[in-house]
Amino acid sequence: MTASGSASAAISGRTNRPADLPAATGPRCVVVGGGASGATMARYLKKENPKFDVVMVEPNATYMSCFLSNLWFDDLINLETLEHSFDDAAASSGYVWLQGKLIDLDREKKRAYTSEGYIDYHYIVLAPGIDYNYKSIGVTDPEMVVALMQKFPAGFKPGSEHLSIKKKLANFEKGVFLATVPVGNYRCLPAPYERACMIANYFKKNKVKAKVVLLDPGEKPFAPKAPGFLAAFKELYGNIIDYRPSTNIKSVDPIKRTVTTEFETIKFDDGAIYPRVRAAKLIEDLGLSDPKSPQMEGDIDVYKYFAKGDQTCYITGDCRPMPFSKSGNTANSEAHYVAKVIAAHEAGKEIQWTSPQTICYSMVNGTPEEAIVVKAKYDKKTFGFTDVHLDNKRSRALGKADHEWGAGLYRDMGF
Ligand SMILES: Cc1cc2nc3c(=O)[nH]c(=O)nc-3n(C[C@H](O)[C@H](O)[C@H](O)COP(=O)(O)OP(=O)(O)OC[C@H]3O[C@@H](n4cnc5c(N)ncnc54)[C@H](O)[C@@H]3O)c2cc1C
């Protein structure tokens, strides 16, 4: 692999047509992906250096957030809270949104090929999020993978998957609703446990005779918040959540609706099955993954985020290789820092490393709304948690703070 672009034959669709964009008015920065990382990055690149001409490339018509989506499953918020306009974000933040997809990259020419034509850039930031690895739960046959993705979507990528799960809950009459926790550093470590609580609360208040079976390869829920989740499981949902720790999934049959663990085969009526995550395949297709990374995350300078040897190409958000929590707040605070790194590079300066911040509320009760929380930064050498603030005692005050936190994050992303 050379610095000239992708190594993969899977990449195609280079076009000689430039994207239909106004002429650049300053150093052009292309941001790929409009999630917590990309939307924040596009906004803050412009704030850090108003001369930057920023173009965000994102294929989805609207932004729909993953964070807070568990609250929607329990009707604690409406869909309007989750869904936002990329037009509004771009207009208020002073960048251009190109609705399209990055397809290929020529890093020697500094040319990004998109579904809408090519864009020549000074800097490019890749923030395309995650993809799923169904092999991790023993599903390799492409027909079965498609059946599993469509019948029992994980609900950890924005958009259709969440709409599908919401409908499942509304239509669920009785029986076993299956939920799973992946192995590895997956997107939002506490979210599968929060989701089990929100789904159980939804069934409880709607008097649906359901069991939420939660299969977890770990010995207990996500470590810092384990006491808060275990208390909620026992005290609020004792006869609804059937939590099974230390349970590895060997295979899933989406047609027969069975999941096989090392102990038994469980029949389920409906569910949302969450396999291991990996960095978006785009990163690998562009030849930018670290081949040693089991989740194919970006091969970058871990303090400055640029692709090794190329200070014009950056990889951020949930496809970074550092073991930070793959969360919205982490991606957002990290984007503030990386925008500064790029602005400093353009000005021929250096800046000090700043830790991203993880702030993660989990709503464990929906009636009344009560949450728990962890806030932390990361150690510069080990990238382990430092400055941890933890509150595992569920409370209404934290429930209220959860909503405020979400609203603040949307605002900071420009929505
Ligand atoms: C149920 C759930 C609950 C969560 N709860 C919390 C929480 O309480 N707190 C918290 O902080 N975080 C939470 N998160 C995690 C948080 O949502 C993610 O970590 C965050 O969204 C990651 O941001 P990102 O920008 O890296 O990826 P994403 O938000 O997934 O954005 C990636 C974007 O890239 C685009 N893209 C992909 N390929 C291309 C391409 N080729 N060209 C152009 N664009 C492309 C995609 O369309 C997508 O819009 C939760 C997540 C889930 C699913």
In the reported structure, the alpha carbon of residue 165 is separated from the centroid of ligand 1 by a whole-number distance in angstroms of 17
Report the alpha-carbon distance of residue 293 to residue 321 in Å, rounded.
7
Q: For residue 101, report the phi and psi dihedrals to the nearest 5 degrees.
A: -125, 140
Please state the domain extents for the chain: 28-129+280-346, 135-277
On the question of a cis peptide bond just before residue 368, with omega within 30 degrees of 0, the verdict is yes
Report the alpha-carbon distance of residue 98 to residue 31 in Å, rounded.
10
Confirm if 366 and 360 have CB atoms less than 8 A apart.
Answer: no
Q: What tokens appear for 40 in the block?
A: 């924040």
Question: What pLDDT was estimated at residue 223?
Answer: 82
Q: Which residues pair with 306 in a beta bridge?
A: 314
Report the alpha-carbon distance of residue 171 to residue 156 in Å, rounded.
21
Report the alpha-carbon distance of residue 105 to residue 115 in Å, rounded.
12
* Residue environment code for 184-193, b if the CB has 16+ CB neighbours within 10 A, otherwise e: ebbbbbbbbb
* CB-based burial label for 16 (10 Å; 0-12, 13-18, 19+): exposed
* Residue of minimum CA distance from atom 53 in ligand 1: 156
User: DSSP labels for 311-334?
Assistant: TTEEE-GGG-SS---B-HHHHHHH
Q: Ligand 1: which of 320, 327, 338, 373 to mutate, judged by most atoms within 8 Å of the beta carbon?
A: 327
* Residue of minimum CA distance from atom 7 in ligand 1: 67
* CB-based burial label for 326 (10 Å; 0-12, 13-18, 19+): buried
In the reported structure, the alpha carbon of residue 266 is separated from the centroid of ligand 1 by a whole-number distance in angstroms of 31
In the reported structure, the alpha carbon of residue 328 is separated from the centroid of ligand 1 by a whole-number distance in angstroms of 7
The secondary structure of 229-280, three-state, reads HHHHHHHHHCCCEEEECCCCEEEEECCCCEEEECCCEEECCEEECCCEEEEC
* Residue of minimum CA distance from atom 4 in ligand 1: 67
* Residue of minimum CA distance from atom 23 in ligand 1: 36
Q: Could you tell me the CATH superfamily of domain 28-129+280-346?
A: FAD/NAD(P)-binding domain (3.50.50.60)
Which residues have CB under 8 Å from 298's CB, separation 6+?
126, 279, 283, 288, 289, 290, 307, 315, 319, 320, 321
In the reported structure, the alpha carbon of residue 64 is separated from the centroid of ligand 1 by a whole-number distance in angstroms of 9
Residue bearing tokens 């770990």: 218
- In ligand 1, which atom is closest to the CA atom of 191? 3
- In ligand 1, which atom is closest to the CA atom of 37? 25
In the reported structure, the alpha carbon of residue 335 is separated from the centroid of ligand 1 by a whole-number distance in angstroms of 13
Global pTM exceeds 0.85: yes
Report the alpha-carbon distance of residue 262 to residue 115 in Å, rounded.
44
* Residue of minimum CA distance from atom 35 in ligand 1: 33
Total residue length of the chain: 415
Which residues have CB under 8 Å from 357's CB, separation 6+?
329, 330, 333, 375, 376, 377
Establish how many alpha carbons lie within 13 A of residue 390's alpha carbon, considering only the half-sphere containing its beta carbon.
13
In the reported structure, the alpha carbon of residue 316 is separated from the centroid of ligand 1 by a whole-number distance in angstroms of 11
Sign of the alpha-carbon dihedral angle for 405, 406, 408, 412: positive
Report the alpha-carbon distance of residue 15 to residue 6 in Å, rounded.
15
Confirm if 314 and 39 have CB atoms less than 8 A apart.
Answer: no
Q: Ligand 1: which of 30, 32, 43, 67 to mutate, judged by most atoms within 8 Å of the beta carbon?
A: 67
Q: Within 10 A of 394 (CB to CB), how many other CB atoms are there?
A: 25
Sign of the alpha-carbon dihedral angle for 212, 217, 220, 224: negative
At 131, which amino acid appears? D
- In ligand 1, which atom is closest to the CA atom of 155? 53
Question: What pLDDT was estimated at residue 190?
Answer: 97
**Residues with a CB atom less than 6 Å from ligand 1:** 32-38, 57-60, 66-67, 69-70, 101-102, 127-129, 156, 158, 187-188, 191, 195, 280, 282, 317-318, 326-329, 331, 360-361
Question: What pLDDT was estimated at residue 15?
Answer: 85
Q: For residue 196, report the phi and psi dihedrals to the nearest 5 degrees.
A: -60, -40
Q: What tokens appear for 64 in the block?
A: 């729909």
Sign of the alpha-carbon dihedral angle for 162, 166, 168, 169: positive
* Residue of minimum CA distance from atom 9 in ligand 1: 360
Question: What pLDDT was estimated at residue 155?
Answer: 97
* Residue of minimum CA distance from atom 15 in ligand 1: 327
Instruction: Identify the architecture of domain 135-277 in CATH.
Output: 3-Layer(bba) Sandwich (3.50)
Asked whether the domain spanning 135-277 has the same topology as the one spanning 28-129+280-346, the reply is: yes
In the reported structure, the alpha carbon of residue 158 is separated from the centroid of ligand 1 by a whole-number distance in angstroms of 7
Q: What tokens appear for 304 in the block?
A: 């400055």
Q: Ligand 1: which of 68, 104, 187 to mutate, judged by most atoms within 8 Å of the beta carbon?
A: 187
Strand order in the sheet with 123-126: 96-98, 53-57, 28-32, 123-126, 313-315
- The pLDDT tens digits along the chain (415 residues) read 333 444 443 355 688 899 999 999 999 999 999 999 999 999 999 999 999 999 999 999 999 999 999 999 999 999 999 999 999 999 999 999 999 999 999 999 999 999 999 999 999 999 999 999 999 999 999 999 999 999 999 999 988 999 999 999 999 999 999 999 999 999 999 999 999 999 999 999 999 999 999 999 999 998 899 999 999 999 999 999 999 999 999 999 999 999 999 999 999 999 999 999 999 999 999 999 998 999 999 999 999 999 999 999 999 999 999 999 999 999 999 999 999 999 999 999 999 999 999 999 999 999 999 999 999 999 999 999 999 999 999 999 999 999 999 999 999 999 9
